[in-house]
Every structure is written in C-alpha cells, then in structure tokens.
A and B are shown apart, each in its own frame.
Chain A
C-alpha cells in the first residue's frame, strides 16, 4: 500500500520535473553557440541588456529608499489602517502586471492626474512600471527581517542610551541585513523579468524602451527566434544565480552572523 503510494507520488512528481526540464532543454538547444555568440554582439541586443540592467538597478535603489522605511514602519509600529497598508503592499504581487501597467498608463496618460510628467514611452516609464511590480518583494522581505529582530534587543539599545535612529542604524538594520539582501535579489530579478507592465507603459521601441523581456517578445513575434533565445539564455543564467543567492542568504538567516570586526 505504502509502496504503491510512493510509486504514484514519484510518477506524478516525475512528470512535473520532466516537463520543466524538457522546456528548458528545448530552449537551450534551440540555437547553436555561434548563433548565440553572434546575437549577443548585435547592437540591439546589447542595448536591451544594458537598458534592463540600468533600469533594474535604479529600481532596486528606489525600492530600498522607499521600501526600507515602509517595511520598518509596518514591522515595528502599531497604527490604525496598518492591515490595509499591509495588504496594499502585497497587491502588486498578485495583480496581473498588465493591470499594474494599465493603472500607470491611466495615471500618467492624457487625462490622468499625473499627466504633466512625461513618463509614457520613456525609460522613466520602464522604471516606474518595474518599481510598481517589483518593490513589494523588497518590502515583504525587509518587513519579515525587521519583525524577526528580537524586540528586547531593540529595547536594550534604547535603555543603553541609543536614540530611535541610532538603534535603527546600529541594531535593527544590521540584524535585518540578510533579509533585506534577499529582498534586493528578488526585487532585482523581478524587475529584470518584468514584461507586462513595462510593455503597457513604455511600449516596445527598439533602442529606446526595449528591455530584455520586451526584446524576447518582439523578436519571437517577428520570427527572429535566435535573438529571443539568446536573451532568454542570459535571463536563465541570471535566474539560476538569483535562486542560488537567495537560498544562500536564507541559510545564513538573520541575526546570527556572529561577530563583526574586532574591537580594542
């Protein structure tokens, strides 16, 4: 009984793993190395890669700037409407990116309240779209990290004469740094992979708003599979690295990093 159960479990799981492996293998074998090498040297592809890197890095920095205070407040303060804010932060994670894109499009579009800002079909638009979709990952991770800091340790700092800001800088932030780092990795990966909202807000203009994901879509639709595959392969490598980094950061855990630097 139990062995037949185990066999069925393995079979079902095997189908799933087989499917994923097959898909990735198909993608990886869709082009030859020379084709790949040729594609990634094309100016359009290089431009897409650079644009993706630039925008995603700016997005991570902006997410840190706005996300850390938001996460800290959500993790440590009690106030009315906290649950609503908490849910609001999660919303972009579950919302289809197209809907996020549409929201930005309407807000910054002709009749929108933010129409005076020239954002649509520009790099700024890409950044806003990616920020909207990706920053919740940072806030979520940072919030969990701040929550896991022992409140007694924070209180101890206060009774030792540390102001709230000093305590934040010297206790909460260092203790939450691994959680924040894994949030950064996830946010960056999400920003890099963002397509729906980006395409809605910034369109697909080669050399101007063509990010890697937008490039994959455009080239695949226009029949230039090898360019799509080349971009995809780069994203796959990045995705794997991200996952490994993420697991590594998760394993270190928060707050148990031991001594830092030597004293006296």
Chain B
C-alpha cells in the first residue's frame, strides 16, 4: 500500500502540491488523472524519493519512508520518455537494477542475473532483443525495455509516468492492454499517471483526479466518470451538460426527483436531499438520444423529453457532437456519424432530446 498524507511541494514561488492525500491499495492499479501542470509527475517523483517533499508523510505498507533514499525505497519507475541507458545494450539495461543491488539477498552474483533478466524480458515479450542497442528500437519496444528493467528488480510497487503518451495510437492501445494484463498477473501495486481519460478508464481499478496539486476526487472509474461528487471532476471527465437547478419535488415511493433549471425540468432518480436544495444536474452527451421532433420516439422508459433546435454539428473523435439550444440553455449530444447522416440533421432543425432519469446525475 502506498499512502501520502498532506504532501506539499513548491518550486520557488510555484506551489505544485498543496496538501495532497492519496492511498493506493496493495495490488491495485491506481490512476492519477489530471491535465498537465496539475502535479501528477511531481507526486510520483515524491513517492520515488527523486523530489524531496516540503511537508507531509509518505508510507509504504505502513512504514514511513520520507527519509529513505530513492535507491532503498524498492519502487520501480517507468518514465514518459523511457529513460533507457543509451550506453548499455538491452540486456545490460534490464540487468542494471540487479547489479546495482536493489534486489535484496541477491547482490550481483557473477553472471547470475541471467534468470531474472530472462524472466523480465519474457514478461514484456522482448525475447531475443538482448544484444540490441535500445536507442535503435521503436518507442513501443523501448518502453517494454523500461518496463522489463523496472520489473527485473521485483519492486514493492511501480510508478508509471504517462508511459504511453509518446507512442502512436495503435501501439499505445496494444501496450495499454498488455500493461493492464501484466499488472493484474503480477498483482503489483501500481500508480499510473495520465492525462488521457480513455487510458484512465481502461486501466484504473481506482482513479484520482488531480487539480491544483491536490486530489479533487478519488474512486472507481464508474464513480469518477458517471457519478462524480465534484463539478470540476464532472467537467474534466467530459460531462458536458451541467445545469444549475433546484430540487422541486422528491417522490420517495417511485424513487424519482424533479429538478428545475429555470428553463426546463429534469427528472432524476431519488436524491437524498430536500425540496428547494440547489444542485447541479449533469447528463453525459452520449447518454442522450436525439430524434427529429416530427418523429415519434420509441424510448418510452426514458423519463426526460426536451425539445430544442440544433445550433451546430461537428466531428468529435469518432462521433458527431450536436449542440442543441434547449430553451436558452445549450446541450451537447453525441451521436454516431451514421445516425447523423440517416437523420439528415442540419443546423436549425428542431429535435427532441430523450434520456433516462438514471442518466441525470445530481451533484449536491
């Protein structure tokens, strides 16, 4: 288990971490998600002992390691830009940590690291690369070497700093799956830093969203992406439609509640609050069904139906984003390209937006 209590760190005037708390459980993949400059990398650096914290405590499995130098912490680190040793071949890179004597009770036997190196290289699928010059490998292969190098020392836990961000999309996706698989197989406590939500969602057992040098919110991917407690997290994870409103009715028997934004009403599932409370209602753009308003919708189980007019349509990754004016508010809806074409959508068209009560998430 890795635990940080109230970590503060400033570089000159620049406050990077301000009382940051987090705890990654044993064997879990803990993802730190945040935009650049939010302190993700500094957090890892502090855990590894490469950056000295100004304040706060760091614990690994319950023991405080603030004063333990980096080479005695037993923490593996995978860098964004691989950080391989350019003057050593692949084998020597992987062997480095074993020779440096990180692995307890196995201080470099003469030529005796072969088994450990071989095992680490097999884990990352680099068999046969032993004598290659790491600088001449592809980015993906270099990151595999870096991974093998970190794993060879059998660390207590491993920290990964945007390890896939320099790779092209295809390699990134493949390596992401492999890292997830590997992490699960070994059961290695891992902290993984990324700014990529897809990566966070795909990898994380739990995710912590960082903002201004502290953890804004931590939880399962489900919670962070669909039921965040903080507006910042909702916005950060792409919850485009966030409306300020007031609870107008709570129907405990049917498990629903009504929220009025002033411009329109929304039905949501039961909220543990009282009528009159100011809340924020959030709907993810991909949870909304869009239909031309002259057609009948078949989504009868949905509890919300709102009419509007299309302001703009533009590509949003593989999907199309439709901006709809809803009685003076703006709603974003994601639909497939095929749907956009079949519906023959155009700017100015009148449309009907439908979504379930369960799709309306309420931030109190």
On A, residues with C-beta under 8 Å from B are: 150, 152-153, 155-164, 166, 170-171, 174-175, 255-264
On B, residues with C-beta under 8 Å from A are: 45, 48-50, 69-77, 79, 81, 83-89, 91-92, 95-97, 100-103, 111, 114, 117, 130-133, 135-136, 146, 149-150, 153
Q: Nearest A residue to B118 by beta-carbon distance? A: A264
Q: State the Cβ distance, A162 to closest chain B Cβ, in Å.
A: 4
> Does B84 contact A161, Cβ atoms closer than 8 Å?
no
> Does B153 contact A161, Cβ atoms closer than 8 Å?
yes
A259-B133, A263-B95, A264-B130 as given contacts; A152 in contact with B81, CB under 8 Å: yes
Contacts of A256 in B (CB 8 A): 86, 135
Within 8 Å by CB of B83, from A156, A162, A174, lies A156
What 7 A-B pairs are tightest by C-beta distance, nearest first? A161-B102, A160-B97, A162-B100, A152-B83, A263-B91, A159-B77, A156-B83
Q: How many A-B residue pairs have CB under 8 A?
A: 113
A160-B97, A161-B100 as given contacts; A264 in contact with B114, CB under 8 Å: yes
A155-B83, A264-B91 as given contacts; A160 in contact with B96, CB under 8 Å: yes
> Does A258 contact B135, Cβ atoms closer than 8 Å?
yes
A175-B86, A263-B89 as given contacts; A160 in contact with B100, CB under 8 Å: yes
> Does A171 contact B85, Cβ atoms closer than 8 Å?
yes
> Does A263 contact B101, Cβ atoms closer than 8 Å?
no
Q: State the Cβ distance, B237 to closest chain A Cβ, in Å.
A: 29
Contacts of A150 in B (CB 8 A): 81, 83
Residue from B45, B86, B91 having most chain A Cβ neighbours under 10 A: B86
Contacts of B69 in A (CB 8 A): 158, 163-164
**C-alpha spacing A260/B91, complex, angstroms:** 11
Q: Nearest A residue to B155 by beta-carbon distance? A: A159
> Does B86 contact A255, Cβ atoms closer than 8 Å?
yes
Q: State the Cβ distance, B46 to closest chain A Cβ, in Å.
A: 12
Q: Nearest B residue to A155 by beta-carbon distance? A: B50
Contacts of A174 in B (CB 8 A): 87
**C-alpha spacing A62/B51, complex, angstroms:** 34
